[in-house]
Structure 1
């Protein structure tokens, strides 16, 4: 056999995983299914052997991957639950609502063979961890009892979530931090799935966005961000479906802020504008600093996300934004702004009076066309306009395309509040679980 085989080498630290079963013989696709699930679990196969009886497939893998590989294969062939190690960043309004929704659904999901194992919850100065799983019924008390630290160790957090003994790792970023988004590409490269309502990743520096999308496209880890634009509404997935089926986007118009929708659906002259802003704050519809809603930048970020989804290389600076916040109130603290909020009443009332005199309504609208011309600002719309009939915190997005030219496609529904945003994040989480093989 001289010359028929290559040089023989010896490698250490190798384990053999064997899949054995009488049902394998003559059944197409068993080997493909095995290797598909090993790949999704980020397990590299070093060598392969299959018995002539077709009742055994053996793979050589690195010993540190052995436990994860065994769990991945068991879950892939439904011999055990599909387990996902989860870390949640940002236990604020949306993050807390998501944790509560996962806790409420755990028993039902386990009946479907899905084990969502929340093992870490991190804020800017605290991190709650568990080797197996956190008690989601007492996470608030346990998190509050933790001492604060100067900065959060995001690398340590990710390493904990990406445990070798668990088949899949997933991080949910419910923060609004650009620093967290800086880690996305590295986490995806490491095989950690990412789900987020954080708009910074999709609207921040273009180079970072391209690195994130590249890491997601080149590896096995998924990047899901539906909730960045429409909370729980299927805005990004609708746009993606239009593009993937060959439609051409002519323009996108929308009311992308549930906060501003609430304000202008209610602003009819019966209450001062400042009173409505305070009401929105009490209902939890606004950011901690309401200027983050009123200045239109949050809406502009969503428009940039939709532009990039179409392949347009757009930055925030390209969006023409007309802020509602007077120049005199743009500086200083949030507390100082709230003390002087009444300064907005007169100019806002003047705009309302003019709109009503023309039989129009005020709506805060974002617009984007195929030439990458983008604008965000307050418009006086005719009363028969689709945006004139929204309710409460409704977001509404109108897609004008080659197919939907004379009658644009409209997506509409609640666009503010932690519960609906968390539900959108949860839906993305379940989509990743289904991709990994969960039978939902």
Structure 2
């Protein structure tokens, strides 16, 4: 004999009920089937809502009743071409009885637990009768048996306790004489010894099926639902979650207790001692393998079997110096909660005995505080302990696995993974059996926490990076295209799953927590929402994705000012923008401190030399114990381009215009030609070398004309270039007369820095520097005479984008 249970989602519509009937017919061809059914999906909530409306004198309960009635008669008509009179009449009688109960609740203005149980029983009564009569109408050998005649309980309404000695005998006696191929039983409902309607509590239909399976000692209990088994974690929150093939009873109970809604924890109890396996199956996909729950489950190579969570948790903390060494505090605390019928989900106590933390359901927190403060009012009045503190908006996340006790460092991996993603842990609990490690975290962090832990314990060492880019201009477009081209390579070779989750330019911005479609991002961005710096940050924070990286490809001071906000949220920052790192030293140091404090990478390789590994090389020298004594560099690709193309036959204005057109200068060329951009770069190198200085400490020997320095706008500046051509030709003539090249040089020497135009003689490493190339020479303790030289393209959209890309990959590899 087979025992199958179908939940509310499996009987939620006529279409799905037809699937159930098909499954039952297939099973009945082999041997007799007992089918336990829940109420039609959503009906239990509607029944309770109607009852509460009636209790509160809301006459609209009649409208809710009519909606419930309509749902059931629609299902009857869709399942049966010609519904039998017995089906229509019986369903109408059940509904009339239900309506009379609602009218009574409305009149007396009361909804007691006893009445609530009777109210809720109508859902299963209706669904079971409709399915049974549909089977009979189709000529299938079937019958309906009222479970209230088989399962007897006490009078603990809403969560009645089963009298197994009576119930088991009634079940066995009935099925000894049952001849139908299929027997339909309503789940969830029972009857007390005094003949009153009772219910078996939340998830009671699973419980009903387990009671019947245990009484008849069947080979397997099958629980049919809308998913293909118990998953490694919640698949609605973690897309990479997958079904667990086999799991032990204990693991299943732990996962179910901590929020895995596929199975109701008490379900396991009746079949546990008899070692009857539970098979979780998918009504929508009957051929799926599902999950087997038994004593013979294997764990494979993974110590963690699943990750689960419970939401809407309140954390209660009782603390005070008067608790230390005084016996009885815990007893009084738990007795108080027991008297209030408040269930404790999690317990943790400091070894100092100074505090006890409890996790309970949030809706019971206010009642718990009133009761506990009353119990300890004497101690609170004498300041021996503090009034109970209550924190809400919390959730519990739990790692579960029988073999966790055999693996060292699991808790360390769990805590460090959460810490790296700014998931603050409010409380920790772990039993001596080490089958469960539970942490209390903020509700808003649940999705990120589950994804982080699933990636850590279940995925093939693939790290997901979620990138948010602002400033999608020339360089930004190249970066997006580079990421698009390399996505597969990164995943296959570096085990990095790189997704762009947000893009913004100066006008619009777009987001997608699952990753933007990089084949159509331009059209999406063109029709995106209005861009704003605060809006961009708020959305990144709200999405709360693990391993988030903010990429700034602007030259905007307002954007740079947002870096601390991102770092405080443990969101990495990759900056092309030089403003932040060349701001005042206090702000620069703040960014460094925030990066360390919140474990948020702050990388800005492209600040100096675009894609050249200048800062990375400098940091490696320092980290290895070397010391920078001096730096000489040509750090402006735009200025090098300008002076490599400027001569007696060209106009300085034309060369600058060409550099701007080819993307070698900032939109405002004064930033480059004034030397400010180069001064920022040498300042950044000096700071990375360990010297504290500000931009005003750098000597800037400008080559621009007086009128060029005083220009009020970009247009005015270009006008001065035309007007002051003689000034620039004089600079060129002076260098040419000495057979020298003009180069804009940055210098740092023993704590002092300067930038300015210099005449470079033949034989010098800078002399033959062509095009937009940069060169940096590091003189150090280890390189005192022959410097370490880094040379290459120091400007251009592609190389700058590649430098940003390299920083992103560097974060992924750490």
TM-score (norm: length of structure 2): 0.50
3-state SS, counterpart of residue 426 of structure 2: strand
Task: Tell me if the contact between 2:427 and 2:439 (Cα under 8 Å) persists in the aligned partners.
Answer: yes
Counterparts of 1:7 and 1:398, CA distance in 2: 60
Q: Could you say if the C-alpha distance between residues 23 and 231 of structure 1 is closer, same or farther in structure 2, counting changes exceeding 3 Å?
A: farther
- Residue 103 (structure 1) aligns with: 484
* 1:198-245 deviation line (CA, Å, top 9, x unaligned): 100011122222221121121111111111111111111111122222
Per-residue CA deviations over 1:77-106 (Å, capped at 9, x if unaligned) read 352753333221111222222122122222
Matched, 1:374 2:753: yes
Distance, in Å, in 1 between the alignment partners of 2:733 and 2:498 is: 53
Assess, with a 3 A threshold, how the Cα gap between structure 1 residues 267 and 100 changes in structure 2: closer, same or farther: same
- CA-CA distance at 1:308 after TM superposition: 1.6
Aligned to 1:333: 713
Among candidates 583, 588, 591, match of residue 209 of structure 1? 588
Q: Who is 1:93 aligned against?
A: 474
SS of equivalent residue, structure 1 residue 194: strand
In the other structure, the counterpart of 2:733 is: 353
- Name 2:674's counterpart in structure 1: 295
1:88–1:122: 8 Å Cα contact kept in structure 2?
yes
- Structure 2 spans left out of the alignment, 5+ residues: 1-326, 330-350, 363-392
> What are the residue-to-residue correspondences of 1:33-48 with 2, within 5 Å?
33-48=413-428
Work out which of the residue numbers 82, 107, 118 in structure 1 matches 2:463.
Answer: 82
- Give the match for residue 702 of structure 2: 323
For the 8 Å contact 1:174–1:197, the answer to whether it is kept is yes
1:171 aligns with 2:550: yes
Greater RCO structure (CA 8 Å; 6+ sep) = 1
Note the 1:193-272 alignment, pairs <5 A: 193-272=572-651
Structure 1 portions without partners, runs of 5+: 436-440
The 2-side partners of 1:400 and 1:7 are apart by: 58
How far apart, in 2, do the equivalents of 1:343 and 1:78 lie? 68
Aligned ranges 1:426-437 → 2 under 5 Å: 426-435=805-814
Deviation string, structure 1 residues 308-348 (Cα, Å, up to 9, x no partner): 21232211111111223211233143234334533343233
SS of the equivalent of 2:600 reads: coil
**CA gap 1:47/1:355 in 2 versus in 1, 3 angstroms:** same
Distance 1:15 1:332, change over 3 A: closer
Deviation, structure 1 residue 44: 2.2
Whether 2:520 is the aligned partner of 1:144: answer: no
Q: CA deviation at 1:128?
A: 2.3
Does the 8 A contact of 1:17 with 1:61 survive in 2?
A: yes
| Corresponding residue to 1:191 among 566, 570, 592 | 570
Secondary structure, counterpart of 1:162 in structure 2: helix
Equivalent residue in structure 2 for 1:365, among 731, 745, 764: 745
CA deviation string 1:142-191 (max 9, x = no partner): 323457x5xx5323312212345632322111111111121211221121
Q: What secondary structure, in the 3-state scheme, does the structure 1 residue paired with 2:593 have?
A: helix
Are 2:366 and 1:10 equivalent residues in the alignment? no
Report if aligned partners of 1:199, 1:301 keep a CA contact under 8 Å in 2.
yes
Q: What secondary structure does 2:449 align onto? A: helix
Query: What is the deviation of 1:6?
Result: 4.9
The question of whether the paired residues in 1 share the 8 Å contact of 2:509 and 2:525 is answered with: yes
| Contact 1:64–1:164, Cα closer than 8 Å, also in 2 | no
**How far apart are 1:299 and its partner, in Å?**
0.4
Say which is worse superposed, 425-434 or 258-267, in terms of deviation: 258-267
Q: Which residue of 2 aligns with 1:153?
A: 532
The corresponding residue for 1:384 is: 763
The CA deviation at 1:21 is: 4.7
Larger C-alpha radius of gyration, 1 or 2? 2
**1:113 and 1:85, CA in 2 relative to 1: closer, same or farther beyond 3 A?**
same
Report the counterpart of residue 246 of structure 2 in structure 1: none
Check if 1:135 corresponds to 2:522.
no
In 2, the alpha carbon distance for the partners of 1:370 and 1:87 equals 39
2:498 to 95, 100, 116: 116
CA distance in 2, matches of 1:95, 1:261: 23
Quote the Cα distance in structure 2 between the aligned partners of 1:408 and 1:395: 15
1:67 CA drift (Å): 1.9
Per-residue deviation, residues 46-76 of structure 1 (Å, max 9, x unmatched): 3434455655533333333222111101112
Q: If the length of structure 1 is used for normalisation, what is the TM-score? A: 0.90
Q: Which moved more, 1:275-284 or 1:227-236?
A: 275-284
Q: Retained in 1: the 8 A contact 2:455–2:463?
A: yes
| 1:32 equivalent in alignment to 2:380 | no
Judge which range, 224-233 or 276-285, deviates more.
276-285
Deviations 1:351-379 (A, max 9, x none): 222222222221110111122x2111110
* C-alpha separation in 1, matches of 2:713 and 2:444: 51
CA spacing shift, 1:61–1:128, aligned 2, 3 Å: closer
Bigger mean CA deviation after superposition, 47-56 or 347-356: 47-56
Does the 8 A contact of 2:513 with 2:543 survive in 1?
no
Q: Is the 8 A contact 1:206 1:313 kept in 2?
A: yes
1:126 to 495, 505, 508: 508
Conservation of the 8 A alpha-carbon contact between 1:171 and 1:192: yes
Shift, 1:36, TM fit: 1.6
Question: How has the CA–CA distance of structure 1 residues 59 and 353 changed in structure 2, closer, same or farther, with 3 Å as cutoff?
Answer: same
- State the match for 1:438 in structure 2: none
**Distance (whole Å) between structure 1 residues aligned to residue 630 and residue 788 of structure 2:** 11
Q: Offset at 1:33?
A: 2.0
Aligned length: 431
Q: Distance in 2 between matches of 1:225 and 1:23?
A: 44
**Higher alpha-carbon deviation: 285-294 or 224-233:** 285-294
